[in-house]
Structure 1
Amino acid sequence: MCHTLRWPRELRDPGDLTSPVPTTDRELELAEMLISEMIGVEVEDLHDEYAAALEVFVGTLAAGGHALPPPELAPLEDLMAALEASVQRARQTQNAT
């Protein structure tokens, strides 16, 4: 996953983003359906909690504060072993029927 951080002052006007290809009636229908399903969602109510927490973190460090140690991570699972076990269970279930 790639995440690019942008500060509000770094955002620029994207200009004209209209498509040079004409929009089909089906695309307009689907867009209207999507918008109608999203009624009740106010864009102003949405906020980026990760960006807000990161800004507080950076501000704390800039003010001379200290970072907390990262939380202890759970041990990683061996994906190949899990896959092999899943295949074995599937084979046993298939042979039992």
Structure 2
Amino acid sequence: MDEEEVHIAIGKNFRKEKANILWAAANFPRATIVLIHVHWPSKWMPFMGGKLLYKFADEKEKEMHRGRETEAMVKMLSQYKSLCDDTREVSYDLDSD
């Protein structure tokens, strides 16, 4: 039998998404949880206390900005992954009793 998967679209609001993940884990305890996040790069970037349209920044500034955005996204996804790992550990511990 093929393994069941539950796909969950996630965004930046961890508190809201946490509820969705916990619900899916509780209702589909044996399913693999697949998190889906679409990263939409910002058109604006911070610049000297204001904002600058991305297309007007020089290449070095663009690279630094995209690096910061990527770091933030990876950090966010790591939070979600940790939540899924913790949820599954609790779920499996309960099943083994």
Structure 2 length as normaliser, TM-score?
0.27
Bigger helix fraction = 2
Larger Rg: 1
**RCO comparison, higher one (Cα < 8 Å, 6+):** 2
